[in-house]
Amino acid sequence: MQSQTFSYSDGTDEFIGHLVWDETQRGPAPCVLIAPAFGGLSDFERARAAELAALGYVALTVDYYGNGLRVETPEDARAQMAAVTSDRRVLARRMRAAVDAARDLPQVDADRIAAMGYCLGGKAVLDLARTGADIRACIPLHGVYDAPNFNNKPFKASVLVLHGWDDPLAPPDALRALAEELSQYCTDWQVLGFGSTGHAFTNPKAQDRAGGMMFNERSSKRAWTALIGFLQSTLA
C-alpha cells in the first residue's frame, strides 16, 4: 500500500489532501474522494482511505479548508465551517478541483470517480453533485442537506444518503426537502435511514448523547456495508 500527501489547487487556493492506493493494482483503478467532517482531515478519514485502497480503489481524502488545515477545537471548527459555507460556490469549486486533480492521476480511471463525505463533508459532496460534476456516485454520511446559494444542474451522480433518523442537524423535514430536490434533479437516488441513530454516528469519538451526536456501532457497520455495495454497483 502506498500513501502520501497530495497537493492540488483550484486556481485560487492551495490544498493538501491524503492519497492512498495499492501499488500492485494493474492498470488505472476507480477513485473515491473522501470529504472529512468539519474538523478537517484526520486519522479517521485516513483510515477509511486505507480501507478503500485495500479494496482496490484509489482513495483521496480532500482538503476543503486549504493548506491541509486541521482544527483542534469545536469553536475553531465552527468558525472555519462558517467561512467555507458562507458562499457555497466556493465549497463546490474546491470540491471540483479535487475531482480534477484525481482525474489527472495516472493510477486513476478518470471515468470512474465517486465522492463520499462525513457531516460537513456530506454537504460538500452533495454540492459537488449539484454542480453536475462528472462523477459516478455521491454518498453523504450524516450530512447536512440545506440548499446551496447556486442553481442546481442535473445530477450525473447516483446518490446514496446514509442518514441517522434522529440527527438534530438534519431533521425529517430537511431530509424530505432533500428527497424532493433529488426527485427533481437526480434520476438515481436512495436514502437509507437508521433508527435510534443521531449525527456523527460513524465516529467513535462522538459521545454527546444529549446533543444528539453519538457513535452507533451497529449503524456505522451497516452504513459501511451499504456504501461498499453502492461503490461496487456504480463504479463497475
Q: What is the pLDDT of residue 221?
A: 98
Output the average pLDDT for the chain. 96
CB of 122 closer than 8 Å to CB of 35: yes
Distance of CA 187 to the CA centre of its chain: 20
The gap between the terminal CA atoms of the chain, to the nearest Å, is 22
User: Per the structure, how many domains does the chain have?
Assistant: 1
Domain harbouring 141, CATH code: 3.40.50.1820
Domain limits for position 185: 2-234
**46-73 burial: b if 16+ Cβ within 10 Å, else e:** bebbeebbeeebbbbbbbbbbebbbbee
pLDDT in tens, 46-95: 999 999 999 999 999 999 999 877 787 888 888 989 999 999 999 999 99
